[in-house]
Amino acid sequence: MVKRKLKKPVIYALYGIAGVILITCIYVVEKALSDAMFKPTNDDFEYVTKPIIDDDAPVINVKAVILRPYNNNKVEIKKGFYDHEGESKEQEKSLILFENTYLQNTGVIYGCNDTFDVVSILDGTVIDVKEDNLLGKIVEVKHSNDMISIYQSLSEVLVKKDDIIKQGDVIGKSGTSNMFRDIGNHLYFELIYKGKNVNPEEYYDKKIEEL
Domain count, the chain: 1
The CATH number of whichever domain residue 89 belongs to comes to 2.70.70.10
pLDDT of residue 99: 84
| Angle value at C-alpha 142, between 179 and 76, nearest 5 degrees | 45
Cite the beta strand spans of 112-210 per DSSP E. 117-119, 124-132, 136-143, 147-157, 164-165, 170-174, 186-193, 196-198
List the domain range (segments joined by +) for residue 182: 1-211
**pTM of the predicted structure, to 2 decimals:** 0.71
pLDDT of residue 22: 63
Residues with pLDDT less than 50, the chain: 2-3, 37-55
Q: State the DSSP H helix or E strand holding residue 133, giving kind and residue range, or none if neither.
A: none
pLDDT tens for each residue of 67-89: 999 999 999 999 999 998 888 88
pLDDT of residue 49: 42
Distance (Å, whole) CA 211 – CA 194: 11
pLDDT of residue 86: 84
pLDDT of residue 34: 55
Q: Which amino acid is at 180?
A: F
